[in-house]
Structure 1
Amino acid sequence: MVQEAMGAASIMIGVVLALGAGWALWWLVRYIRADTMTRASIRQAVRVRRGWRRLAPMAGLSVTDKVQPAQTVVFASDGKVPKPRVLTPRIKVTPDRYGVVVRAVCLPKVSLSEFQRAAPYLADAWRCTRVSVLLEQPGQLVIRGVRVDPLITPTDHTPSGLVPDELARWHLGVDDYAVPVSVSLADVPGVTVAGLPGYGKTSLINRFICDTAPSDAIQYAIADGKVTSSYEGDYADLEQRAFAFVGDDLAEANTLFKRLVDLRRDRSASIRAVLGVKNMWHVGPSASWPLVVLIVDEAHTYFREHKGSDRKTKDLAALASENARLVEDLVKKGRSVGLLVLIATQKATGDAIPTFIRDVCPVGLSFAQKTAEAAVVALGEDIRNWPDANPTALQDPAYVGVASMAHQGRPGFTRVRTPYVADDDAARIAADTAHLTRDPADLLKETSGRHLRRPVPLVKEDVADATEAA
């Protein structure tokens, strides 16, 4: 019997040692294969685990259990009742490139509020830039500690070229705690993007196009007020994926906006017959009824007032006024038929984006701004109550690519580090998906089986007629 017991014990010890060796090998391989930032986070995670039982009581994250188990009292060797047990929350630590994610199990009197009060102490002890504590589910917390500030760490994004799982989900980047941030564009009529030149507005829009372009259920029209021709500027590499493109000519932009308003009217007239619903988002976009995104960059080019008494100035003023009216029609009436207007400008004041357009766009982002007034018109009056997220604090070159926004489903405002998409990647995506480009008006005509208004073509003769009419 003794020999059998010793043999069984030897087997158990061997199994334990083998498991331990296997775990150590797995950990070593994982450490070697990790990049420099992740290795630092792995070492940080080890320190967090080892120091937790000592740190927790010092940070006020422990509770005394005065009720002793019955067997402890009965079998006490010296006849004395042992001291009450000090309990600390159980934790599980996971490292990533920016720091650690700690999941903790709550105890009586050690829950969300206690962890939030202790967050500054945890940040110091774990050598983190900042620590956040959120309720993951009843009785369980997720503690995010970032060793490296994600907002000042530039990131790149390489488009996969694959059809996105959710077409209407715009992946923006990561927040202060390196948590991915996205926004739903379903049932959204318009988006405004503001900020100083060179701080990331166009790069943000480029990522949206590159991520969604592989789907045939989306089509783009671009009005870029910074350039004259489609082969110029930031969208030149993506031009072949757009069914329409205009530069800074107000008459050409006017023709494009009229063309999209005609599409909006035709879709409104035929949506129930074609889709069987009154709101396209009840069934979602498709190849035959795609989401149409109008991108208006440097919007002040098309909307600002022109003051003067000469004929040319009057003509420009008339075109700008009609442009604003047409885009207002798209924003206020295009949501249910699958039209989205994405407007970018440096300063979202009323002269750049008319208030009757800006104030009905539910999603707004702002990169760096010089004045508090510019931040307010871009994000709303409530941004004054969130000074840490105010875009006036993003003027440092380290914050190029960082925007402030009101996050859907969260109180207050969030700062987001948006990644950079290389020009070569944008050109690759556009070339690979150019065959998906279709005019939505032609698709509607094919699908509805009825004669619809012909879209206004973008040719010089019609541009001249439009200017003369204005």
Structure 2
Amino acid sequence: MEDLNGAFGYAPYAVGLGLAVFVIWSVVWIVRYIRATPMKRASIRQAVRVRRTWKRLAPMAGLSVTDKTPTFMAELANTDGKKQHKPRVLIPVLKVTPDEFGVMVRANCLPKVGLEEFKKAAPYLADAWRCTRVSVLPDGPGKVLMRGVRVDPLIVPTEHVPTGRPPKELAKWEVGVDEYGTPVTVSLKDVPGITVGGLPGYGKTSLMNKLICDWAPSPAIQFVPFDGKVSRAREGDYADLVPRTFAFCGDDLEAANKLLKRLVELRRARSTCMKDVLGVKNMWHVGPSEMWPLIVIPMDEVHTFFRDHKGSDPKTKRLAALAADNARLVEDLTKKGRSLGFLTLPITQKTTGDAIPTFIRDVCPIGLSFAQKTAEAAVAALGEDIRQWPDASPINLQDPAYVGVAVMSAQGRPGFVRIRTPYVPDEYAARIAEQTAHLVRDPFKLLEELTGQTVAELAKQAPDEDEDGPELLAA
């Protein structure tokens, strides 16, 4: 009796502790709600609604299963063996997390309620959760991840503020967010090149500005842009970033030819000494470093450098010869520069064969396309498979609301993904370039410091190579 009285004596303290925990939780929740942005608050309310209505919604959407087997406790309670066990309705357990665009919902699978059943129910869940769309992806064994977006991320312009800090992982490209608001990142390790196409003013150059701004704080990356839209470095879209580049080239074909020849010479020199300097046959086995940096070569309006000039006069013939030689040199960098630390990015409006020769375009494993006018241009940018995914075609992005939206193949799964790429204001780009200008190192001089030989001397030691890159072996 005394033990019972003692237990009741602690009851007020237990109730008080429970109330205190509830009050603290409520205060934390309210503070988070008040401090959230208006879009995040709407998502928090949406998350509450998803949790509250799930037990009733799941059976109606076919996401429940009936368990007729009695539990252990039910069997113990059934002493006479005559009592009928009431079947239980099992419903997947949810974990809901709100963000700016909607909710991330993680759920466990049940027998006969797996990934495919969740995918079939996605349209009904979108209506019930008041979402624009709901996607369903696997989230590990026996689990699914549902992404519901209340606001279409593709039509919400975003602005990127560079941190000014070195990237945590070199050659990791944070492209933007997809149509479900999920960040899209692409690893560019061991990638020889990326093609970028799209109509003028739809975000190609801004995409490159973000890439340079994010990577500029790393001394293990050096940049050498070619801009076919301008004649001088202080002009055009890359003018603010020039302080962070070790070289720059405008639309002059002869100047471009000279710079490309120097880069090919550097490529040959690196090929000669990499095994001795780095101890590996592929630079990516050890990764870029300050003394052996990754050389990023954005080539905006690249068709300027490859244009097939028609005419029989000496000047036109000379331009045609330079353009053909430029194509040969860029082919060399894309086909043979991957393992040596060269990343080439041809950028143009239509990535058709007349703008980017197919022997260059087809070597680049990653392709992005902003808005296009024709199916031909979409196929040139993304491959024949885009015909099988008409809803994702870049010809659907010609509306001004889709400025800054690109399409690329979905890595790790079939199909294509549409990505909202953020805009980087000029003042941010200028600030990053100024802050990181001291990191500019000429890779030619770096190689000479490492080896004690000039790039020209090293390049002469390189064996003859065929057009695909392997060494020609003596008979």
Counterparts of 1:440 and 1:346, CA distance in 2? 30
Residues 97-246 of structure 1 aligned to structure 2 (within 5 Å): 97-246=100-249
Question: In the alignment, what sits opposite 1:466?
Answer: none
Q: Which runs of 5+ in 1 are unaligned?
A: 457-470
**CA contact 1:183–1:407 (8 Å) conserved in 2:** no
Counterparts of 2:132 and 2:69, CA distance in 1? 39
Counterparts of 1:455 and 1:108, CA distance in 2? 65
Question: Where has structure 1 moved over 4 Å in runs of 4 or more?
Answer: 73-80
How many aligned positions are there? 456
| CA offset digits 1:305-363 (Å, max 9, x no partner) | 00011111111111101110111111111111101111100000111101110010011
Residue from 61, 64, 80 that aligns with 2:63: 61
Question: In the alignment, what sits opposite 1:462?
Answer: none
Counterparts of 2:457 and 2:311, CA distance in 1? 35
Counterparts of 1:207 and 1:454, CA distance in 2? 37
Quote how far apart the aligned CAs of 1:82 are.
Answer: 4.9
Question: In the alignment, what sits opposite 1:427?
Answer: 430
Does residue 293 in structure 1 map to residue 300 in structure 2? Answer: no
TM-score, normalised to structure 2's length? 0.94
**CA contact 1:259–1:455 (8 Å) conserved in 2:** no
**CA contact 1:441–1:455 (8 Å) conserved in 2:** no
Does residue 358 in structure 1 map to residue 361 in structure 2? Answer: yes
Residue from 314, 320, 324 that aligns with 1:321: 324
Question: Which deviates the most, 291-300 or 64-73?
Answer: 64-73
Residues 34-45 of structure 1 aligned to structure 2 (within 5 Å): 34-45=36-47
Question: In the alignment, what sits opposite 1:48?
Answer: 50
**CA contact 2:266–2:455 (8 Å) conserved in 1:** no
Identity within the alignment, % = 67
Question: In the alignment, what sits opposite 2:442?
Answer: 439
Question: In the alignment, what sits opposite 1:453?
Answer: 456
Counterparts of 1:273 and 1:71, CA distance in 2? 71
| CA offset digits 1:366-417 (Å, max 9, x no partner) | 0000000000001100110011111001111111000000132222111111
Question: In the alignment, what sits opposite 2:420?
Answer: 417
Q: Give 1:19's aligned amino acid.
A: V
Aligned residues: CA RMSD? 1.7
Question: In the alignment, what sits opposite 2:344?
Answer: 341
Quote how far apart the aligned CAs of 1:73 are.
Answer: 5.9
Q: Secondary structure at the match of 1:368?
A: coil
Quote how far apart the aligned CAs of 1:76 are.
Answer: 7.2
Report the CA distance shift for 1:455/1:407 in structure 2 as closer, same or farther (over 3 A): farther
Question: Which deviates the most, 11-20 or 118-127?
Answer: 11-20
Q: Secondary structure at the match of 2:232?
A: coil
**CA contact 2:265–2:455 (8 Å) conserved in 1:** no
Counterparts of 2:416 and 2:7, CA distance in 1? 64
Report the CA distance shift for 1:320/1:26 in structure 2 as closer, same or farther (over 3 A): same
Residue from 370, 376, 382 that aligns with 2:385: 382
Quote how far apart the aligned CAs of 1:182 are.
Answer: 1.0
Does residue 4 in structure 1 map to residue 6 in structure 2? Answer: yes
Question: In the alignment, what sits opposite 1:401?
Answer: 404
**CA contact 1:194–1:347 (8 Å) conserved in 2:** yes
Q: Secondary structure at the match of 2:139?
A: strand
**CA contact 1:63–1:88 (8 Å) conserved in 2:** yes
Q: Secondary structure at the match of 1:414?
A: strand
Question: In the alignment, what sits opposite 2:31?
Answer: 29
**CA contact 2:404–2:420 (8 Å) conserved in 1:** yes
Quote how far apart the aligned CAs of 1:455 are.
Answer: 12
Counterparts of 1:386 and 1:404, CA distance in 2? 11
Quote how far apart the aligned CAs of 1:43 are.
Answer: 0.2
Question: In the alignment, what sits opposite 1:461?
Answer: none
Q: Which runs of 5+ in 2 are unaligned?
A: 460-475
TM-score, normalised to structure 1's length? 0.95
| CA offset digits 1:249-291 (Å, max 9, x no partner) | 1111111101101100111111111111111111100000000
Question: In the alignment, what sits opposite 2:286?
Answer: 283
Q: Give 2:239's aligned amino acid.
A: A
**CA contact 1:119–1:133 (8 Å) conserved in 2:** yes
Report the CA distance shift for 1:288/1:366 in structure 2 as closer, same or farther (over 3 A): same
Counterparts of 1:285 and 1:156, CA distance in 2? 29
